[in-house]
Amino acid sequence: MKKLRRLLNTLDSDSAPEQVHDLRTSARRFDAAFKALGLDDAGIPKSVFKELGRLRKRAGRVRAMDVLTEFAAAIRSKDEAECHVRLLEHLGARRQKQAAKLHTEAKQLRRELRKALDQASSRITRLLREKDAGAANSIVANAAATAIRLSAQLSAPPHLNKTNLHPYRLKVKELQSILLMAEAPSRPRFVEDLGDVKNAIGEWHDWEELVGIASKLLDHDGTCLLLAELKRIAESKYGHGLARAHELRKTYLQSSQSKRKSAALAGVPRPAVWEAIARLAG
């Protein structure tokens, strides 16, 4: 919440990519932590989450243009220099437009939202201090139960493909956000691997978005070499993201040689997952 308040205060119409990314990430983690800890009795107005959600979506649109610009700029296409420049200019214009919208919305919400976050911080601090041991254990149990449920869901859907790989990433991201709440000198390997899978699938999804933008923008003769290169990279990123997701399942979920038992064991986490969840109690 401290980070969110600071970001709201410093955000302007030309915010650096790091600021935009931090705003989006901090808002998402605040929402995930609040739900996982079951702090419904903290007295925080629902409008706070609604307004943070609006800002997070705005920041997401700016962040997307930052990422796509970075990807596009890294491509070397001598034969399609004009198309390359055209694509970069288009992405830059969209980034500027989305950043201006984010700044406008942040200015409208800044004062009341920072005040609400101040109140939320005080209420949650007071609530946690006033909790007895049993209630505190209940809060930890809520977070652990959510993490267990999401860990078991890593086995679904049984077959991953281009239509369900991105929704699968959202479950991975939510689980990692909860496990990152644990205070520890180092992160368990499971948490790090969740991040790797999230990033790999996210990178593929971003490349697919870049292909979609370029397909509408670069339409000369239907044989643009730059567009063909973007599609090739996107397909490669899909293969990598899919492989990382399969590896995550194989490493952290139980399996069985028996077809009869495999369905029952498919969603059972291995010890490394339980160890990561147990750190929430720390």
- Cβ-Cβ contacts under 8 Å for 272 (sequence gap 6 or more): 188, 189, 190, 251, 252
Tokens matching residue 7: 């970001």
Nearest-CA neighbor of 37 among 186, 177, 189, 184? 177
Tokens matching residue 87: 């694509």
Nearest-CA neighbor of 279 among 153, 167, 210, 183? 183
Helix (H, G, I), strand (E, B) or coil at 261: helix
> Where do the domains of the chain lie?
1-130, 135-282
Total H helices, total E strands in the chain: 10, 0
What single letter denotes the amino acid at residue 157?
Answer: P
Cβ(269)–Cβ(152) under 8 Å? Answer: yes
What single letter denotes the amino acid at residue 220?
Answer: H
How far apart are the C-alpha atoms of 164 and 195, rounded to whole Å? Answer: 18
Tokens matching residue 212: 């979609």
Cβ(65)–Cβ(94) under 8 Å? Answer: yes
For 197-237, how does the pLDDT look when each residue is reduced to its tens digit (9 = 90+)? 999 999 999 999 999 999 999 877 667 889 999 999 999 99
For 146-183, how does the pLDDT look when each residue is reduced to its tens digit (9 = 90+)? 899 999 999 999 999 999 999 999 999 989 988 988 87
- Cβ-Cβ contacts under 8 Å for 142 (sequence gap 6 or more): 36, 37, 38
Considering the entire predicted model, what is its pTM?
0.82
For 98-125, how does the pLDDT look when each residue is reduced to its tens digit (9 = 90+)? 999 999 988 888 888 888 888 777 777 7
